[in-house]
A = this chain, B = another copy of it.
Amino acid sequence: MTGKNMIALQDISVQFKQRNESIQAVQHVDLTIAKGDIYGIIGYSGAGKSTLVRVINLLQKPSSGKVIFGTQDLGQLDAAGLRKARRKIGMIFQHFNLMKSRTVLGNVEYPLLGLKITKEARQQKALKLLELVGLKEYAAAYPKQLSGGQKQRVAIARALANDPEVLISDEATSALDPKTTKSILALLRQVNQKLGITIVLITHEMQVISSICHNVAVMDAGKIIERGPVTKIFARPQQKLTADFVETATNVKEALTRILKQNSVSERKLLIYLKFIGNTAQESIISSISRDFNLDINILFANIDQIDGVNIGYLIADFIGARSVILTVTEKLKAAGIAVKILDNAEGQVQL
């Protein structure tokens, strides 16, 4: 992140009129995306994500608000100027949107057709891009002959043909299976790192956010209800909706419900939920406390992983030992910056 702004949406609202009613698809959204960032936008269906990103290149004219791209106010440009600006913003879609009448090469060449370069130069460039996405040998194939993941790679190559500064991905992996999704995300990460392209990425899957984004905005009913660095959002979601998304990515809540149902009560046992963020996870907490305090720690659920370079861990475990000792330990853990919650056995929801 260089700190320089690539995109700034200022007080954007979008209203759709349908028959009698009008829908506020986007409501007073401010959003600034720094150059070189990978910025995720997450939200359930109908939240207004697509509408919002379509505002970035004015495919959707906002009812009010300003779109600043680099230093240009896109709303002030004439048609030709806007088209020129759009070439700097590549876009990939859920359903690929390739032209079935053109070969893979032809599709990647498409954005270059208007330019004053020779056919050879154009094909050369398209081939280089196909090489980048690993599909050089499919140049002469038609989209119909490709798998979903391959089609999306072609779409990415096409979006890169104009040497864009920004790449917008609208649910580009939602139609793909998990394995293909990973390979597409890896390609996007590579594009971001090698070519320095800013990426705006829409999804409804938190796994996608956690595996590639630096920053994330959570949308609900046309508004951004929470935003910030991915690690922070994962660690301390402020909104219920955000917490829901985090939970589906970590399985914590589901595990908790199950464990609470199965757990047996005992004098010498306490069910404890721990959440570590950052370096604390590296410090062998479990082993050191079990050794130092002579506790048995029985791990019932654990999810410890790295998100955007930061370790984040969730752990549910039975601490077995004298109750007083266990309570001392929890204090010690809290002091070390770990979130600790003692779970009593009451059936039903426990707010984490």
Contacts and interface: CB of A to CB of B under 8 A. Distances in A.
Interface of A: 44-45, 147-148, 177-179, 182, 204-206, 211, 244, 248, 251, 254-255, 258, 281-284, 286-288, 290-291, 294-306, 311, 313, 315, 318, 320
Nearest to A262: B306
A255 B205 contact: no
- Copies of this chain, tallied across the complex: 2
A13 B124 CA distance: 46
A300 B296 contact: no
Contacts of A305: 251, 255, 301, 303
Given A178-B205, A204-B177, A295 B287 contact: yes
18 contacts: A44-B177, A45-B147, A45-B148, A45-B177, A178-B206, A178-B248, A251-B305, A258-B306, A284-B296, A284-B299, A286-B286, A287-B297, A290-B290, A291-B294, A299-B313, A301-B304, A302-B304, A302-B315
A276 B300 CA distance: 12
A258 B284 CA distance: 19
B179 A205 contact: no
Contacts of A318: 284
Given A178-B248, A302-B313, 10 more contacts: A44-B177, A45-B147, A182-B248, A284-B320, A286-B286, A286-B299, A287-B297, A301-B304, A302-B303, A302-B315
Contact of A306 (B255, B284, B296): B255
Contacts of A313: 299, 302
Nearest to A314: B302
